[in-house]
Amino acid sequence: MAVCSVLAVILAVFWPIPAQAIRLKDVASFKGVRPNQLLGNGLVVGLNGTGDGTNVDFNTQELANMLSNMGITVDRNKVKVKNIAAVAVTAIMPPFARVGSRIDVLVSSLGDAKSLQGGTLVLTPLKGVDGQVYGLAQGPVSVGGFAASGEAGGGITKNHPTAGRIANGATVEREIPFDLTNKGDIIMTLNEPDFTNATRAVGVINKHLRGTYATSPDSGTIAIKLPPSYKDKMVSMLASLENLEISTDAVAKVIIDERNGTVVMGENVRLSTVAIAHGNLMIQIKERPRISQPLPFSRGGTTAVVPDTSITVKEGADRLMVLPEGINIGQVVQALNAIGVTPRDLIAILQAIKAAGALQAELQII
């Protein structure tokens, strides 16, 4: 019984763990089914003296244009207000959005406004890259922060008061045409092109559709023909395909961010046999001024300050460590921790291992 227990523990530790299954919808998307970005510029009014200053001219121009459209004529050179702010309004229009649908908008200050708290965005057209108006935005801006200052300067700021959101603040006024009913085939694109993942996805799709309906012309594209059983049922077929699961593969990669000392390594990172010695050389120099006085009853002697410099050199006692070939990421981390490396030291060690040709992974520095 004890032998069986020990054997079970050994198998649990050393038996390879299968790759985690990922849904197709999380690693791929259907061609044409995509969101679209919208952009507009407008005015936020009703601010309590925290709007754009007098150095910003385009906000008064927008105010004059808005009043002119309402039949009110003003001289824009004489408009001096601090309760308005020129803003950029952005939104993402989801696929298949219909006229009357509501979408969220983001509002960001264009000038030198101190805060958009308490402001209201006036009617703003939202345009696509083709210059057509696809939505209209309007409503109170929710900032989620504040800024307060005194007459003599200084103050306190919480979060980011010059940008905010309007939940369901825009109405879709124009639809983007895309028809699925008359399509005989569909294209699926992988978020990260990979030949292994594309081949696995084709196999899973063909097994699900019970035929050779999916092919992969390249590492990032999967072409799928509509089976006869799914005629006039394109939506049902896409719903069934996006929930299929595949075991994804990824390129072995090490990401290094030298600005903050961050190192991220994927599970497929491997090392060839390599020996590592890492030791720190610390040199400490101390200056201690010493007072030198003349002997008693001496003639011509003066008190002087004599510099006293002490230099200490200390070298780390780290040993040479041999890392065998083919060890995985967990063993790499454990071995490097054994010689007491910091994240900063780890960056230098990984770069040296890569230069020696022993790091079997892509080293990417960001």
Task: Summarize pLDDT for 88-147 with one digit per residue, the tens.
Answer: 999 999 988 999 999 999 999 988 888 888 899 999 999 999 999 999 999 999 987 766
**pLDDT of amino acid 312:** 61
In a domain, 229, yes or no: yes
234-242 vs 195-209: helix crossing angle, rounded to 10: 130
Say whether both 332 and 207 belong to one domain. Answer: no
Claim to verify: residue 219 and residue 304 sit in the same structural domain: no
Is 17 inside any structural domain? no
What CA–CA distance (Å, rounded) separates 191 from 29? 7
Residues 52 and 151 in one domain: yes
- The residue among 108, 139, 172 that closes a domain is 172
pLDDT digits (tens, 9 = 90+) for 226-246: 888 888 888 888 889 989 999
Which of 15-24, 42-51, 82-91, 183-192 has the weakest average pLDDT? 15-24
312 - beta bridge partners? 284
Q: Which amino acid is it at 65?
A: N
Between CA 117 and CA 327 the distance in angstroms is: 56
pLDDT greater than 60 at residue 318: no
Report yes or no on whether pTM surpasses 0.75.
no
Is residue 177 a part of any domain in this protein? no
Considering the domain architecture, whether residues 119 and 139 belong to the same structural domain is answered as yes
Predicted pLDDT of residue 321: 59
Same domain? 50 vs 121: yes
Q: What is the pLDDT of residues 326-362, one digit of tens each?
A: 666 667 667 666 666 777 777 777 888 888 887 888 8
Identify the weakest region by mean pLDDT among 45-54, 150-159, 161-170, 205-214: 150-159
309 band by pLDDT with thresholds 50, 70 and 90? low
Query: Same domain for 156 and 198?
Result: no
Q: Decide: helix, strand or coil at residue 174.
A: coil
**Last residue within a domain, chosen from 247, 265, 296:** 247
Q: What percent of the chain has pLDDT over 70?
A: 74
Instruction: Classify residue 10: in a domain, yes or no.
Output: no
Model confidence at 301, in pLDDT bands (50, 70, 90)?
A: low
Which pLDDT score, from 0 to 100, does residue 67 have? 77
Q: Are residues 87 and 56 in the same domain?
A: yes
**What secondary structure does DSSP assign to 91-145, as a single string?**
EEE-TT--TT-EEEEEEEESS--S--TT-EEEEEEEE-TTS-EEEEEEEE-B-S-
Query: For 51-65, 310-324, 343-357, which range has the lowest pLDDT when averaged over its residues?
Result: 310-324
- 336, 262: one domain: yes
Question: Does residue 272 contact residue 357 with C-beta atoms inside 8 Å?
Answer: yes
| Same domain as 258, residue 239 | no
Total domains present in the chain: 3
Kindly state the average pLDDT of the residues 17-24: 69
pLDDT over 60 at 281, yes or no: no
Say what the pLDDT of residue 324 is: 67
* Measured distance CA(271)–CA(349) in Å, rounded: 13
Same domain for 116 and 157, yes or no, is yes
One domain for residues 205 and 114: no
Mean pLDDT of 284-293: 65
Q: Could you tell me the residue range of the domain that residue 192 belongs to?
A: 185-247
Residue labelled with tokens 């197709």 = 24
- Percent over 90 (pLDDT), the chain: 26
Flag the least confident range among 143-147, 213-217, 312-316.
312-316
Residue 22 lies in a domain: no
Residue 15 lies in a domain: no
In a domain, 156, yes or no: yes
Residue 18 has pLDDT above 70, yes or no: no
Q: How does residue 16 score in pLDDT terms, banded at 50, 70 and 90?
A: very low
Query: In the prediction, which pLDDT does 249 show?
Result: 82
* Residues 223 and 281 occupy one common structural domain: no
Site of tokens 């290094």: 256
Domain end among 148, 172, 196: 172
**In this structure, is residue 72 part of a structural domain?**
yes
